[in-house]
Amino acid sequence: MKVVLVSAVALIDRDGRVLLAQRPEGKSMAGLWEFPGGKVETGETPEHALIRELHEEIGIDTWESCLAPLTFASHSYDDFHLLMPLFACRKWQGIPHSKEDQALKWVAAKDLRHYPMPPADIPLIPILRDWL
């Protein structure tokens, strides 16, 4: 089975809320909410992939020193296995806004479980909630 490496981030604002992005129509699992991020390309570290994806998808800039490894997801889907490190980030430049037609929402950690998410993301919720 093919292993896909995806890097994701829990962006945490001053009020302790976490940014979620809704997968747009036309993508697999459209309509589900997820932590921002994306595939790690050949030659990239998970941190560099995240910095690139955050710039491309939500128009913010951050730095490797601001990405703290928090936990990871390891989940088998039908046609691939997802390995996804989740970083926490409290410092970035710019205001997050959708550049790829996905809805964005700041959510209190205690309310994350009320948002439908891909199966790989669900086990990350209690870890985030307990950490925040």
What tokens were used for 53?
Answer: 């994806």
Question: What range defines the domain where residue 37 resides?
Answer: 3-131
Q: How many CB atoms sit inside 10 A of residue 112's CB?
A: 23
pTM comes to 0.93
Average confidence score pLDDT of the chain: 95
Digit-coded pLDDT (tens) for 49-76 = 999 999 999 999 999 999 999 999 999 9
81-102 average pLDDT score: 94
Number of domains in the chain: 1
76-81 long-range Cβ contacts below 8 angstroms, 24+ apart: 76/1, 77/119, 77/120, 79/1, 79/2, 80/1, 80/2, 80/3, 80/4, 81/1, 81/2, 81/3, 81/4
Measured between its terminal Cα atoms, the distance across the chain in Å is: 35
- The alpha carbon torsion through 78, 4, 30, 103 (nearest 10 deg) reads 160
Q: What pLDDT does residue 26 have?
A: 85
The CATH number that applies at residue 65 is 3.90.79.10
- Work out whether strand 3-11 and strand 17-22 pair parallel, antiparallel, or are unpaired: unpaired
Digit-coded pLDDT (tens) for 21-34 = 999 888 889 999 99
Q: What pLDDT does residue 126 have?
A: 93
